[in-house]
Structure 1
Amino acid sequence: MNTELLGIVATYLLTLVIAIPLGKYLAKVFAGEKVWTDFLKPLENGIFKLSGINPKEEMNWKQHMKALLTINLVWLVYGFFVLIYQDKLPLNPDGNPGMTADLSFNTIISFVVNCNLQHYSGESGVSYLTQHYVLMFLQFVSCATGIAAAVVFFKAFRDKTSVKLGNFWDFFVKSITRLLLPLSLIMALILAFNGTPTSYEGKDQFISLQGDTVNVSRGPAAGFIAIKHLGTNGGGWFGANSSHPLENPNYLTAMVELIAQVIIPIAMVIAFGYFIRRKKLAWMIFGVMTIGMLLLLVPTLSSELGGNPAIAKMGISQATGAMEGKEVRFGPAISAYWSTVTTIISTGSVNSMHDSTMPLTGTWQLLGMMINSFYGGCGVGMLNYFIYLIIAVFISGLMVGRTPEFLGHKVEAREIKIAALITLLSPFLILAGTAIASYVFTNHGDAAWAVQPKNWLNNPGFHGFSEMLYEMTSSNANNGSGFEGLGDNNVFWNVATGFVLILGRFLPIIGPVAIAGLLGAKKYIPESAGTLKTDTLTFSLMTFAVILVLNALSYFPALALGPLAEYFTMLK
């Protein structure tokens, strides 16, 4: 057991060893300073020339958001039709069928918004062409979209007063050429040399020890799995995701995949501090995020390593911890760590089945996605945290009797209204969505449009409610993991989560960027003795308190009806 915990500590420390210098590097890249990857400039210039883009043309925040939303709409339309007609297109050696319209609607939105909520099973639901030229493509560009939006936010606070916030396409392309492609290449090579398939051949066949003929799906999976983690996407090449021995062959690859999904979110926090020349502020933000992560990780470890008390009452030894739904190769400790980082970050990949975790673990998984800012996704984690920070600035300003300020810019009614709307959006989408699903499940079992909701849940009662709550929470948080006791490939869930996905992705990007753009355009106010400092321990604790209070008020009743009720019932 001590060795398992040591593996977690080693994994996290290696993550920091990579993420901190990576953050400094990203700050230089996006500031236009000289870096060792400048040899890629000819490639980038060629892309801009072919596209007719002038990367030196400055944009304000509205122009940035227009470019972001327009290109995402193009990807959505393109992918929707490819998914429907994939059975008529090449690179489909296993003969996988085309998707229904509602499943294609859900899938393409999910990958465009960096969620990868998979209502299909990876190896049997899509062709090799779709996996690579739609889904893997979107894993690159959706991640780059989040990073580019975060850099716009950075630019608003770099100069004292500015409406010129760089060029979206410049940030977007550099996110791919200078960051995602090189790291994906390195990670894909590690996976390939450890047994992850990389060929375009169809299913392989072998005879099992019992004499059964077994067909095993293969395909060029290594590159897909690399960007799935580096881009905090999470969609599996195989239906079992990183529980599959070809997607995650051994403990080394488990460590690599865990490190990969955390390094860019942490690096973006560090990059923020170096980019705006306020390193202390970045380290304080990183400290709050890390404390939040630990407060979710430690009780998760305790739940999973302690085993199931109901089984313990039967006199059955649980020396190995709660092993239901876990990989025997890895054990419960690293699965607990994985389930924590994959839910606080918007990755959503799994190396164990979340539906089988202990009830309290389910509580922490849900809470991590509800908060959605302890590191968070690539770029968007900082944007989500910024909303809490602005609310903390407003409350603190009221407490000391001053007009709230952030980095020399007055925070006024317009910015607070935007922050309040974004803060209310997530609880509304999650709770209203879960309420509608519960109503449909309870009252419309025979409705044709509901597609037999009575068959949704393998686990009725408190756990069934948790499954529906988890699906809506995961969709809103752009996470993509699930309590897979839920039958989700039907019209209701495909359409309902599709709308939650798109609203939960783009409004929390537009809101923080709009606030940053509005603040950046205001007259800079030099610091004085009465200025509220946002890079202190006191203010960091204030922000942390705001995060806890807002999320407790929003979500405690729903958590009490689901995983907490299940936990106390299990004890009884």
Structure 2
Amino acid sequence: MFFAVLAVALAVVHVPLGDYMYRVYSSQKHSRTEILIYRLIGANPSSEQTWTAYARSVLAFSAVGIVFLFTMQLVQQWLPLHLHHPATPMTAALAWNTAVSFVTNTNWQNYAGESTQGYLVQMAGLAVQNFASAAVGMAVAVAFVRGFARQHSIELGNFWVDLVRGTLRILLPIACLGAVVLIAGGVVQNFHLNDQVVHTLAGSRQIITGGPVASQEVIKELGTNGGGFYNANSAHPFENPTPWTNWVEVFLILVIGFSLPRTFGRMVGNTKQGYAIVAVMGVMAAISLTLITLFQVRHHGTVPTAAGAALEGVEQRFGVANSAVFADATTLTSTGAVDSSHDSYTSLGGLMTMFNMQLGEVAPGGVGSGLYGMLILAVITVFVAGLMVGRTPEYLGKKIAAREIKLAASYFLVTPLIVLLGTAIAMALPGERAAMLNTGPHGLSEVLYAFTSPANNNGSAFAGLAGNTVWYNTALGLAMLLGRFVPMILVLALAGSLARQGRAPVSLGTLPTHKPQFVGLVVAVTAILVALTFLPALALGPLAEGVH
């Protein structure tokens, strides 16, 4: 029932939200607030950018965000609303890791949120970057779609216009409405630092920190960010109190990602192409959800024969099945929020969370990044199909020649290279192996998950790895940076190449890219490519553990 209602809700909003986002990014009118922002930052909203200028703007904006957030964390003890005795000291390495994490839409956290970051940092630093990083991803996706839609052009739009509109017209209104819904469901929103006193079952008193939680919770899900106000993330009752707020949070995670294909279809002038892309996302998500639920419901916990293993690492108010849906949604997107412990999942259940990320998080993926990742896979699929019939492949009337396929292939290879190289180095260093809580296959899974998550800008983790070390903070920070911005640059370069082309006429040899045949082909190509890339590492980790 949980999933059925979710699927219906996503289907209902697909067209109206997708059409609304199309109008947002296609409108020629600017509001007074937007014009004021353009003047303050010195941007000309009437001027469009080439792909190189667009990429420079993305990198410059993100670099400023990293410097600002890094500095803010290191000086937070002198800022208002700070914690007097933080549990985890904010070192330069941890501040670097966290700043990179939130700017890249990863939200990997090597600290406990409520006992490390002050309220001002949470609100003006982390929550702001939740909006900004999501808007950046959406802007790059829209620029990529313009590459397909335009002919004989060297321009892809204006990054600053796309950034501001995505924030003010899409993310902010939905986040405000969603925050009200979450507050009505019991998510806290206050400035109560140390006066949340509860009485435990043992009869003692425990102080639980309050804070401006709902305002951060909604954008962490909507923007597929994932960073929790509390260490327990969405398993904490102040972040996610009831089964129906759990449903709302899963809906927020998926709603923009599953609606953007409609925006894509409208922008290229063919809504059937949008339906084909969302169908690919839906098929892959349904298969993944079926498998992870089967692995968790049929074989609970890491120790299936133990008493109570069915709820190991799972909140009782959500249950095993609904927690599996949450885990699947959060790893199929770049969210990384959790309402259960992925480290407590069965070996095959944990494998599915990793495999979801290794797919490139494209079903539906992060806001923006999921769409352009899926379109890259569509380009690769068209190229493979063209090889089969011996003709120059085309997608949406654009020829996929040597330059285009090199950029698409490079995009696909960047993340596996980061994941596998980082995991290999960590396993080769005795100090980094010592950070594993477990030995054997599960220990390898912890490290593999640790690099899979940041490189794909997810942020979830197997909790057994002690990641708050100088080496892991530095290495995972680099994985986040490279995993976010190298693919973006390749996407924009490909968009620029496509925009310069004309549109080839449809012929009898043109592969129909809006029919079920193409949907199945994209799903197959994606699964095969990912399996060939990651199967050896998975065989040594979760698969070896599963057959042990």
TM-score (norm 2): 0.96
Tell me the alpha carbon deviations over residues 235-274 of structure 1, each in whole angstroms, 9 at most, x when there is no partner: 0000000000000011121111110010011111111011
CA-CA distance at 1:311 after TM superposition? 6.1
CA-CA distance at 1:67 after TM superposition? 0.7
For residue 362 of structure 1, what is the amino acid of its counterpart?
A: G
**8 Å CA contact 1:84, 1:98 repeated in 2:** no
Counterpart of 1:214 in 2: which secondary structure? Answer: strand
For residue 142 of structure 1, what is the amino acid of its counterpart?
A: S
Cα 1:336–1:63 shift into 2, 3 Å: same
**8 Å CA contact 2:134, 2:223 repeated in 1:** yes
Residue equivalent to 2:124: 133
Residue equivalent to 1:388: 377
Counterpart of 2:206 in 1: which secondary structure? Answer: strand
Alpha-carbon distance between aligned partners in 1 of 2:303 and 2:188, rounded to the nearest angstrom: 39
Structure 1: gaps spanning 5 or more residues? 1-5
- State the number of aligned residues: 545
CA-CA distance at 1:98 after TM superposition? 5.4
CA-CA distance at 1:307 after TM superposition? 3.0
Query: Equivalences for 1:129-528 in 2 at 5 Å?
Result: 129-204=120-195, 205-308=197-300, 322-371=310-359, 372-440=361-429, 444-445=430-431, 453-454=433-434, 456-528=435-507
Tell me, yes or no, if structure 1 residue 88 matches structure 2 residue 78.
yes
Tell me, yes or no, if structure 1 residue 71 matches structure 2 residue 61.
yes
Tell me the alpha carbon deviations over residues 453-509 of structure 1, each in whole angstroms, 9 at most, x when there is no partner: 52x122211111101000100011100000001111111110111111000011111
Residue equivalent to 2:539: 560
Alpha-carbon distance between aligned partners in 2 of 1:534 and 1:516, rounded to the nearest angstrom: 19
**8 Å CA contact 2:155, 2:499 repeated in 1:** no
Counterpart of 2:444 in 1: which secondary structure? Answer: helix
Alpha-carbon distance between aligned partners in 2 of 1:313 and 1:20, rounded to the nearest angstrom: 46
TM-score (norm 1): 0.92
Counterpart of 1:64 in 2: which secondary structure? Answer: helix
CA-CA distance at 1:206 after TM superposition? 4.1
Cα 1:144–1:312 shift into 2, 3 Å: closer
**8 Å CA contact 1:150, 1:380 repeated in 2:** yes
Structure 2: gaps spanning 5 or more residues? none
Segment drifting more, 305-314 vs 503-512: 305-314
CA-CA distance at 1:8 after TM superposition? 2.1
Cα 1:348–1:309 shift into 2, 3 Å: closer
**8 Å CA contact 2:302, 2:344 repeated in 1:** no
Counterpart of 2:311 in 1: which secondary structure? Answer: coil
For residue 378 of structure 2, what is the amino acid of its counterpart?
A: L
CA-CA distance at 1:185 after TM superposition? 0.6
**8 Å CA contact 2:447, 2:465 repeated in 1:** yes
Alpha-carbon distance between aligned partners in 1 of 2:342 and 2:445, rounded to the nearest angstrom: 11
Counterpart of 1:285 in 2: which secondary structure? Answer: helix
Tell me the alpha carbon deviations over residues 283-323 of structure 1, each in whole angstroms, 9 at most, x when there is no partner: 11111111111111101111111134996667x6x7xx821
Segment drifting more, 119-128 vs 192-201: 192-201
**8 Å CA contact 2:83, 2:115 repeated in 1:** no
Alpha-carbon distance between aligned partners in 2 of 1:359 and 1:149, rounded to the nearest angstrom: 36
For residue 341 of structure 1, what is the amino acid of its counterpart?
A: A
**8 Å CA contact 2:83, 2:116 repeated in 1:** no
For residue 236 of structure 1, what is the amino acid of its counterpart?
A: G
Tell me, yes or no, if structure 1 residue 43 matches structure 2 residue 22.
no
Cα 1:309–1:248 shift into 2, 3 Å: closer
Tell me the alpha carbon deviations over residues 528-564 of structure 1, each in whole angstroms, 9 at most, x when there is no partner: 2222332222222222221111111100111111111
CA-CA distance at 1:50 after TM superposition? 2.4
Cα 1:388–1:49 shift into 2, 3 Å: same
Cα 1:312–1:268 shift into 2, 3 Å: closer
Alpha-carbon distance between aligned partners in 1 of 2:110 and 2:15, rounded to the nearest angstrom: 36
CA-CA distance at 1:139 after TM superposition? 0.3
Cα 1:218–1:480 shift into 2, 3 Å: same
For residue 56 of structure 2, what is the amino acid of its counterpart?
A: K
**8 Å CA contact 2:302, 2:347 repeated in 1:** no
Counterpart of 2:276 in 1: which secondary structure? Answer: helix
CA-CA distance at 1:344 after TM superposition? 0.7
**8 Å CA contact 2:302, 2:346 repeated in 1:** no
Counterpart of 2:207 in 1: which secondary structure? Answer: strand
